[in-house]
Copies of this chain bind each other. A is one copy, B any other.
Amino acid sequence: MLEGIEHVALAVSDLDVAIRHHREVWGLEVARRERVEDQGIEEATLPLGAAALQLIAPTSPASTVARFLERRGEGLHHVAYEVADVRAALERLRALGVALVDEEPRRGGGGDLVAFVHPRGNHGLLVELVQRSGDPSA
């Protein structure tokens, strides 16, 4: 069902500061930077081997990432699993009774088709399913 880890997302307060830190300390560079308005965030994608580290910062105090930062401070936010077919994955999860955040896929960063799975009932892990936009079944 899962092709691999597409990215790991770190919630940060200031995107520029976090980008500079990851360049200077870890030698990671930004491949893509983009605002995702319906999530109320700006994200920077830093390739890391076959996957990526994604830095996400709130652009609105109402976004779930802003609330995450208030509650917990900066830290790991979610893991994205790559799937070939996000609709089929949601269907399977629904049949298993797994709690979903998104009942239908939506457009994420880079035009990928994405859907979030609720951490409740998944051992506290917020999962983003990602079907890459280059996928022929998209």
Contacts and interface: CB of A to CB of B under 8 A. Distances in A.
A51 B18 CA distance: 24
Q: Is the interface of A mostly helix, strand, loop or mixed?
A: mixed
Contacts of A96: 24-25
Given A25-B122, A98-B25, A125-B76, A50 B4 contact: yes
A125 B75 contact: yes
A51 B7 CA distance: 11
Contacts of A93: 25
A119 B25 CA distance: 13
B5 A8 contact: yes
B48 A50 contact: no
B123 A49 contact: no
